[in-house]
Amino acid sequence: MTTQPVRNTKAMLRGMTPSLDAADYVFCTTEDEQLAMLAAPISLGWFREAEGVSLILAHGDALRLGFDTTLTMRRITLTVFSSLEGVGLTAAVATALANHNISCNMVAAYHHDHVFVPTADAEEAMRVLLDLQVAAG
């Protein structure tokens, strides 16, 4: 049986069940095509922009490849199977975190949304998101 993606905002929030990844990640960018091709297969994600290729790399991989690793981030996966057509989950999560002065970078993949927050704020971000889930209840 295939699970259907959730589209309703309240249902997405009720079911988001955030999960904090133990690893540190770094958002990187390069205009060097060879470096981008080397990094892409080991990246958590990448996107080609006009200014170059943006990559999300594990901290150790970014360090090994010579990227700036000053800002480390932790990934929080919202484990609800959110629809790509769902409305409001990203906005609610970003707003809740902003209200606690926590910056975030949202990445929507096919099955789940992923929230990247500065490593120092990761535990507090989890508390905020769990409170948001309960409030949607």
**Does position 5 have pLDDT exceeding 90, yes or no?**
no
Closest residue by Cα to residue 116 from 80, 74, 82, 77: 74
- What pLDDT is stored for residue 84 in this prediction? 86
Average pLDDT rounded to a whole number, residues 22-51: 95
Alpha-carbon span 30 to 38, nearest angstrom = 11
**Which residues touch 46 (CB under 8 Å, ≥6 apart)?**
36, 39, 40, 53, 54, 55, 56
- What pLDDT is stored for residue 1 in this prediction? 46
Query: 41-90, pLDDT tens digit by residue?
Result: 999 999 999 999 999 999 999 999 999 999 999 999 999 998 888 889 99
Number of Cβ atoms within 10 Å of the Cβ of 65: 17
Query: 94-110, pLDDT tens digit by residue?
Result: 999 999 999 999 999 99
Angle, alpha carbons 17-21-23 (nearest 5°): 170
Average pLDDT rounded to a whole number, residues 6-11: 88
Q: Which residues pair with 118 in a beta bridge?
A: 73
Beta strand segments in the chain, E: 18-30, 45-49, 52-58, 73-78, 105-108, 113-118
Closest residue by Cα to residue 17 from 96, 79, 89: 79
**Domain-wise residue ranges, the chain:** 9-136
Superfamily name with CATH number, domain 9-136: VC0802-like (3.30.2130.10)
Average pLDDT rounded to a whole number, residues 23-37: 96
Alpha-carbon span 44 to 24, nearest angstrom = 11
**Does position 2 have pLDDT exceeding 60, yes or no?**
no
pTM, to two decimals: 0.93
